[in-house]
Amino acid sequence: MILVDVRHTFPVSVGDAFEYITDTRNWKVFFPNFVRLHDPAHAKWDTPGDRVTVVIRLLGRDVQVNMTLEQYEKDSRVTYVSRQQGLPDAKHERHFKTVPEGFEFRPVVVFEPRSGLAGLFDRLLVKRAVAGALRKTIENLEPVFEQQRSRA
């Protein structure tokens, strides 16, 4: 099993951050390589069992990522599973924790490498790509939450 996670503290309340990050209308701002939601009119992301398909740009082409929400604990934690063709399924966790400076955000991705040569690809390239995507998510959220703090 491969686990990739990062931690970052933002200068906004955990409630504001949770509301922003879980709102599918905001994903285009911080979701790395985001192209569009497959069916934005029906995108719902607040009840276990909710399903959303995100289209991302990967290696020069649009790829669909099917996401199924497993847990939604307001202002605390969200977990979901993502599936996309040609890659292992992944479990995602988004942890939100109140800290004196605002909130700590800890996105986590866990996946089981496939067997054979695909597993080598997963251990080397997929792990690196996931780590880069988590760092890019943090980077994309920084100006959003800095702007929110400035307005407060």
Question: Three-state DSSP class for 104?
Answer: strand
The Cα–Cα gap between 72 and 50 comes to 10
CA 1 to chain centre: 19
How many other CB atoms are found less than 10 A from the CB of residue 22? 18
Is the pLDDT assigned to residue 149 strictly greater than 80?
A: no
Range of the domain at 84: 2-33+69-151
Q: Is residue 60 part of a domain?
A: no
Taking residues 126-132, report their average pLDDT: 93
Q: Is residue 96 part of a domain?
A: yes
This model's pTM is above 0.85:
yes
Q: Is residue 41 part of a domain?
A: no
Q: What is the mean pLDDT of the chain?
A: 93
The CATH code of the domain that includes 93 is 3.30.530.20
Q: Is residue 50 part of a domain?
A: no
Number of domains forming the structure of the chain: 1
**Which pair of structure tokens corresponds to residue 82?**
């993502």
The Cα–Cα gap between 72 and 80 comes to 9
